[in-house]
Structure 1
Amino acid sequence: MSNLSTSKWTKYKLLRKSKKLQAFLPETDWLSVSSFSRMLTKYSQIILKPTGSYGGKGVIMVKSVGSSSYEVQDGAKHRTYTDLDEINAFVKKKASKNYIVQQRIHLATKNGRPFDMRVMVQRHTNASWQVTGMLAKVAGKGFIVTNIRRSGGRVVTVENAIHSSELKNMQTSELLAELHAVALRSANQLGPSYRWVKTMGIDMAFDKQGHVWIIEVNFAPMLELFLKLPNKSAFHKIKSFHARRKQP
């Protein structure tokens, strides 16, 4: 097994090395007071997330309100800072815990709630990567994170999410094809650095214009999410794939 870090920051830097993937990656930097200030000035809304955690834990949105106010959303909780020293102290505290800062993507919404997708990409030893399943995670009311346990959201098919969103007038087949292509390209980019990895759960999103974004890549995704879909065939395919690759 490789000693290479599996943190969000390391995987982001590896993905950025692919010129073909750069357009699908939200701008990301290591969190510091200076990177926070630069990114917030550039985008007005940014996301802070711990580089080593999963499941939406610790994900915070910061929005610039006017010239000297900052709205911070942590889960469903909101707080407003009106003092620069206060917000800088907040940032320093998060930076000490190894956070990254990321451009906020204005996700497409289903019935007003943001959603993203979990795309499962798997391979057998010395075989090509293949997409084995995908679903959409819809955030719970008042949440920015789509993690089902954390936000109380729900799982639907990607087609269902698209048809109930701002993207409903776009060609669903084209959106799905782009999603597949970017997911496979991501796995092929990371695969050589993590040769022991045979399963990736790639969190991806559409913005309100239908552009595909790579949010993050998980190497130990929760497969049971797929049991929440009405059709269990994707879950069984993913599980059978696991069973086959474990055989000698």
Structure 2
Amino acid sequence: MSKLSTSKWSKYKVMRKSKELRAYLPETAWLKESAFWRMMNKYDQVIIKPTGSYGGHGVIRFKKTEASEYELHDGAKKKTFRNQAQVNAYLKRKTGKSFIVQQRIRLATVKRRPFDLRVMVQRRPSSRWQVTGKLAKVAGAGFIVTNIRMSGGKVIPVEQAIQRSQLKTMRTEDLLAQLDKVALKSAAKLAPSYPWVKTMGIDMAFDKDGHVWIIEVNYAPMLELFLKLKDKSMFRKIKSFHKNK
């Protein structure tokens, strides 16, 4: 029996089967013209991204403007489409090429820059999943993606991101506990379908109301992100699990 695909779409479908996890998953569909407009009409903003890429490559936001036009935000570049026909012509070049369309989450921000979270969940052979580290990735100026290399953003401790954002009025301990809980549930749901995986880098986020979202799950996460934190203890812990996988 062949292994299940590790694409974003395949992992989303596995997690979507869990009633517990559904509340934390942005609505996602295979990119088709009909799915795109259904979501645009529902949310006014959507994300389009390739289902097999990493590092923020190919992630595009579409937003309906007050003038009833459509703004595309790709990297630091923006482009305006005047009507649906122009958008459809653009989508035609993307459909059929392994793209998904996803509800756009209005992420919490630090100095008006969106941030998301990398949560590391790992297990040793024959042991339970554990959260071994987490950090916040703050997008660079003008970017919607938080990938540090692409946007020129920065890595900071999660607690610091919370205290510098709209979430500072909420209890940090409660937010972190919810983050860990959802991360562990995600790993537990994915594990039976991907039994060889012992390390997951789960990209998660808080919206401006403090609700937790699962953005995507990476089975080959870049551990060196944790070296950008002043405190290296999380990196050492993550590496110790990684060596014994």
Report the TM range for the smaller structure's normalisation. Answer: over 0.9
Residue 23 in 1 paired to residue 23 in 2?
yes
Distance 2:68 2:231 in 1: 50
Taking only aligned residues, the RMSD between alpha carbons, in angstroms, comes to 1.1
Distance 2:232 2:96 in 1: 43
How far the C-alpha of 1:68 sits from its partner, in A, is: 4.2
Runs of 4+ in 1 over 6 A off after TM superposition: none
Give the corresponding residue for 1:154: 154
Distance 1:186 1:63 in 2: 29
Residue 167 in 1 paired to residue 167 in 2?
yes
Please give the TM-score of this superposition, normalised by the length of structure 2: 0.98
1:133-179 Cα offsets, whole Å, 9 max, x none, are: 00000000000000000100000000000000000010000000000
User: Which moved further from structure 2: 137-146 or 68-77?
Assistant: 68-77
* 3-state secondary structure, aligned to 2:169: coil
How far the C-alpha of 1:129 sits from its partner, in A, is: 0.4
For 2:97, the aligned partner's letter is K
Aligned residues: 245
Percent identity of equivalent pairs: 66
Contact 1:2/1:196 (CA < 8 Å) preserved in 2?
A: no
Distance 1:22 1:242 in 2: 29
Contact 1:2/1:194 (CA < 8 Å) preserved in 2?
A: no
How far the C-alpha of 1:77 sits from its partner, in A, is: 0.3
* 3-state secondary structure, aligned to 1:242: helix
* 3-state secondary structure, aligned to 2:168: coil
Matches within 5 A, 1:41-120: 41-66=41-66, 68-120=68-120
Give the corresponding residue for 2:33: 33
Contact 1:109/1:166 (CA < 8 Å) preserved in 2?
A: yes
Please give the TM-score of this superposition, normalised by the length of structure 1: 0.97
Give the corresponding residue for 1:198: 198
Distance 2:208 2:68 in 1: 28
How far the C-alpha of 1:85 sits from its partner, in A, is: 2.0
For 2:169, the aligned partner's letter is N
Distance 2:120 2:85 in 1: 43
Contact 1:50/1:59 (CA < 8 Å) preserved in 2?
A: yes
1:102-124 Cα offsets, whole Å, 9 max, x none, are: 00000000111100000000011
How far the C-alpha of 1:126 sits from its partner, in A, is: 2.2
Distance 2:107 2:97 in 1: 27
Gaps (5+ residues) in structure 1? none
Give the corresponding residue for 1:211: 211
1:69-95 Cα offsets, whole Å, 9 max, x none, are: 110000000000013222101112111
Contact 1:64/1:71 (CA < 8 Å) preserved in 2?
A: yes
How far the C-alpha of 1:38 sits from its partner, in A, is: 0.4
For 1:129, the aligned partner's letter is W
